[in-house]
Structure 1
Amino acid sequence: MSDAESSTSGGGTGRGGDSRTASASARLQKLFEGHRLTPAQRRIAHCMVRRAADAPFLSSVELAELAGVSQPSVTRFAVALGFDGYPALRRHLREVAPAERTAGADSYNEYQQAVQAEIENLRHLAAALADPAPVERAGRLLAGSRPLPVLGLRAASAQARGFGYFAAKVHPDVRILDEGGTMLADRIDAARRAGASALLCFALPRHPREVVEALDHAREAGLTVVTVADSAFAPVAKHSDLLLPAAVGTGLAFDTACAPMLLGRALLEAMCDALPDAQARLEEFDAQAAERGLFVE
């Protein structure tokens, strides 16, 4: 597990089934804490948290297929958690975190299943945000950094650019780092010399090696790294000071990232709350936009 602070659990969402699912996810998360897991074992743990309602019913073969690992890896994972084997782990899950499979799930086509999976990811995010403290802390860190570098490479570049577009309306100096290469470290150094105190990173699978290296470089330079990642078990976790997880959907050929995007918007809200002149900047932008006729009403 990562040494980085993370927000991975919370209270119920107000609906019985959603609350039970969120509670099961939290119990699974707690079960994995304090164990040093290999990358393959982190994938298994991530898969089980995402499929918390089904986890007590999955065979080792099914879990291995879902996580994209070998069946022996599932057995080694159970042993790493202190169980005699996977059957013992599954018995434990059925005893302490009973759950029911989602009724009617098999009747959905593949597109509906992808949407339902994203809805479940958003429910997990809502449960995690029951404790707003990590997001509020992140908002203060980002608001206080002048300039504010925002990193996102490959699959995460859209998240970084989207955040940066809106952040620039309220923050005086936002610098988007969405291209890798030898100049990435130079741009981080330039931001630090200009006064930056924090860096925001969006990290989505598959995780580029450059992102891990960039986060290490940023921390060595003295920046506090806030990361939005797909899982508390993501490779970037131990390279971040404050980790905010939001799961991605994996049911289609390419991952979907509704929860990370929404978490990014929540961070924007927290950052606005920490910027005393945010409202004035927004009103100024609206006035300029109206004067220039930027938008079709």
Structure 2
Amino acid sequence: MESKMQDLIKNIQENMSALSKGQKLIANYIINHYEKAAFMTAARLGEVVGVSESTVVRFAIELGFDGYPKLQKVLQELIKTKLTSVQRMEVSSNRISEDNILKSVLQLDMEKIKITLEEINQEVFNEVIESLLTAKKIYILGVRSSAPLASFLGFYFNIIFDNIRLVHTTSVSEMFEQIIKVSEGDAVIGISFPRYSKRTINAMKFVKSQGATVIAITDSGESPLAACADHSLIARSDMASFVDSLVAPLSVINALIVALGMKKRDQIYGTFEKLEKIWDEYQVYEKYDSGDAAGKEDY
């Protein structure tokens, strides 16, 4: 990632002499404030440096990009692992309207699901399904903000399969203690998004060395998690202020659960029949009858 950022800056510097006065202003701003420029529209970037939107577009083309959105996408991919929580909040102040935070955040999430739908590889998805169906044991790894995704996946996989191990710990040593028996024939699902967890990456490298099938759920083929995976399910993540927005990854996980559930529907029917009896016997769920609700006391 670092070298690619340096390559982009080098490209800008090498083209500096061919740039117009206005384009040089853009170039200098990107070099010095790339973490902010990455999330600015062409119009906003032009406004900040004092040039027209068309000048910004021509600048991107001068660097060899098809247009400004392509340059912006490259910048976003390169810097999202580098931003501190404070920088995330600063960047978000330019992206999210404080007058309507709810609408702004929901629109950003919708955009990430749309991009994920357009870019995800159906063939890889099918390969992941087959790998999980034939695995001796399935391990699920996810820490920090990815831990809820791992727990959600583990909850439903425990209904579908008999061979699930959810690895959950805040300790590096405990994580390796839980995956020490991983071997050939097992499948390991690792979940991580920027800023990527070193614990998850190191664990994935280890299980790969043990001969397991490694499945990554991450945001990009450039992700360090994807680099050590046999199969990568790519779902676009985002940052809403200091918060990791993981709506698209959760949607992909939902699709994974549903697809596997369809493959093992007969077994799941039997499991749910048993569970329904247990839930009823031990009153796991509240029974609500709207017709009887009025006038009754809580017990």
Question: Normalized against structure 2, the TM-score is what?
Answer: 0.64
**Contact 2:182 / 2:210 at 8 angstroms: preserved in 1?**
no
Deviation at 1:213, TM superposition (A): 0.9
Distance 2:245 2:219 in 1: 11
Query: 2:119 aligned to 106, 128, 131, which one?
Result: 128
Relative contact order higher in (CA < 8 Å, ≥ 6 apart):
1
Alpha-carbon separation, structure 1, partners of 2:219 and 2:69: 28
2:108 equivalent in structure 1: 117
Q: Deviations over 1:262-290 (max 9, x none)?
A: 11111112222333623332333233322
Is the contact between residue 228 and residue 246 of structure 1 (CA under 8 Å) also seen in structure 2?
A: yes
Cα distance change of structure 1 residues 177 and 216 upon mapping to structure 2, 3 Å threshold: same
**Which residue pairs with 1:206 in the alignment?**
195
Alpha-carbon distance in 2 for matches of 1:160, 1:151: 6
Matched, 1:215 2:215: no
Q: C-alpha separation between the residues in 2 aligned to 1:224 and 1:123?
A: 29
5+ unaligned residues in a row in structure 1: which ranges?
A: 1-35, 45-58, 70-84, 98-104
Q: Distance in 2 between matches of 1:86 and 1:134?
A: 33
Q: Distance in 2 between matches of 1:251 and 1:95?
A: 20
Q: Are 1:288 and 2:281 matched, yes or no? A: no
Equivalent residue for 1:176, pick from 166, 170, 176: 166
Q: Paired residues, what number?
A: 223
Structure 1 runs, 4 residues or longer, greater than 6 Å off = 41-44, 94-97, 105-108
Residue of structure 2 aligned with 1:257, choices 217, 230, 246: 246
Change (3 A) 1:117 1:183: same
1:290 and 1:89 mapped to 2: Cα distance?
A: 65
Shift of 1:137: 1.7
Kept after mapping to 2: 8 A contact 1:148/1:191: no
Larger radius of gyration: 2
Cα gap change, 1:223 to 1:169, in 2 (>3 Å): same
The amino acid that maps onto 2:143 is L
1:269 matched to which residue of 2? 258
SS at match of 1:182: helix
The match for 1:64 among 34, 46, 59 is 34
| Matched residue, 1:143 | 133
Question: Does 1:232 find its partner at 2:221?
Answer: yes
C-alpha spacing 1:87/1:183, structure 2 compared with 1 (3 Å): same
Instruction: List runs of 5+ in structure 2 lacking aligned partners.
Output: 10-25, 40-58, 72-95, 288-299
Q: In 2, distance between residues paired with 1:218 and 1:266?
A: 25
Preserved contact between residue 61 and residue 68 of structure 2 (Cα < 8 Å): no
Q: Aligned Cα RMSD in Å? A: 3.4
Contact 1:155-1:206 within 8 A present in 2 as well: no
Q: What pairs up with 1:65-104 in 2 under 5 angstroms?
A: 65-66=35-36, 86-89=60-63, 92-93=66-67
CA displacement at 1:68 relative to structure 2: 6.9
Identity %: 17
Instruction: For 1:181-192, list aligned pairs within 5 A.
Output: 181-192=172-183
Q: SS at 2:233's partner residue? A: strand
Contact 1:227 1:242 in 2 (8 A): yes
Give the Cα separation in 2 of the matches to 1:86 and 1:94. 5
Query: Structure 1, residues 77-99: CA drift from partner, whole Å, max 9, x if none?
Result: xxxxxxxx8542465337999xx
Change in CA separation of 1:217 and 1:42 when aligned onto 2, cut-off 3 Å: farther
Kindly tell me: are residues 43 and 200 of structure 1, through their superposed partners in 2, closer, same or farther at Cα, counting changes over 3 Å? farther
Distance 2:272 2:8 in 1: 42
